[in-house]
């Protein structure tokens, strides 16, 4: 049969029904879509059955080696924690002893400073006293020498004035 352009349209007859042009295209599209959907469904069902079989045949891996390693790591961690605790206690003890020694040393230094200050004061006082005593002694010696000189001069003058000494 011819259309308005002079082309003949394809025609298909199936089960007593006649299909022409665009209807054939729609039917072919529907049939291929249906076939693709069925194929996808079968593939999905096949994947589902394969997965179901894998899940049913699944055996958990042997993790006992990991459990043993975890136990060892936990034991080592506990040992390290105990050792760290002991080390911290020892460091604290050393720190306490160092602080006590520091305080004792500070007290000793203060006591020695006080002793040094007292000795310094005593030395200064003794030096001043010695300087006074020395000055006083020098003055006394000078006075005594002057007195002795005067006495000697008097005796010499008396001896020279004595008429017996002129003979």
Nearest to 57 by CA among 67, 49, 65: 49
> Are residues 8 and 2 in contact, defined by beta-carbon separation less than 8 angstroms?
yes
> Which band of pLDDT confidence, cut at 50, 70 and 90, is reported for residue 166?
low
35 and 78 assigned to the same domain: no
The better pLDDT of the pair 19, 157 is held by 157
Residue with tokens 């020395």: 134
Residue 86 above 60 pLDDT?
yes
pLDDT in tens, 38-68: 999 999 999 999 998 888 888 887 777 888 8
27 and 108 assigned to the same domain: no
pLDDT in tens, 97-137: 999 999 999 999 999 999 999 999 999 999 999 999 999 99
Q: Please state, in angstroms and rounded to a whole number, the distance separating the CA atoms of residues 107 and 119.
A: 18
22 and 90 assigned to the same domain: no
13 and 34 assigned to the same domain: yes
User: Which of residues 20, 41, 59 is at a domain's end?
Assistant: 59
The better pLDDT of the pair 25, 79 is held by 79
How many independent structural domains does the chain possess? 2
23 and 35 assigned to the same domain: yes
For residue 21, is it left (φ>0), alpha (ψ between -120 and 50) or beta? left
96 and 37 assigned to the same domain: no
118 and 145 assigned to the same domain: yes
Going by the DSSP 8-state scheme, the letter that residue 109 receives in this structure is: H
pLDDT in tens, 16-28: 777 677 777 787 8
10 and 91 assigned to the same domain: no
10 and 81 assigned to the same domain: no
94 and 130 assigned to the same domain: yes
Structural domain of 24: 1-59
16 and 67 assigned to the same domain: no
Q: Please state, in angstroms and rounded to a whole number, the distance separating the CA atoms of residues 114 and 121.
A: 10
Residue 2 above 80 pLDDT?
no
Residue 1 above 50 pLDDT?
no
pLDDT at 129: 92
């Amino acid at each position: 049969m011819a259309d308005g352009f002079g082309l003949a349209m394809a025609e298909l007859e199936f089960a007593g029904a006649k299909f022409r042009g665009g209807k054939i295209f729609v039917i072919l599209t529907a049939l291929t879509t249906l076939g693709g959907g069925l194929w996808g469904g079968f593939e999905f069902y096949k994947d589902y059955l394969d997965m179901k079989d894998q899940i049913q045949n699944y055996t958990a891996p042997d993790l006992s080696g990991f459990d043993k390693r975890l136990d060892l790591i936990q034991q080592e961690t506990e040992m390290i924690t105990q050792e760290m605790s002991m080390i911290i206690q020892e460091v604290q003890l050393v720190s306490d002893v160092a602080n006590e020694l520091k305080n004792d040393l500070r007290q000793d230094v203060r006591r020695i400073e006080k002793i040094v200050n007292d000795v310094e004061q005593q030395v200064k006082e003794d030096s001043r006293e010695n300087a006074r005593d020395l000055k006083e002694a020098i003055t006394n010696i000078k006075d005594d020498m002057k007195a002795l000189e005067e006495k000697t001069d008097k005796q010499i003058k008396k001896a020279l004035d004595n008429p017996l000494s002129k003979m």
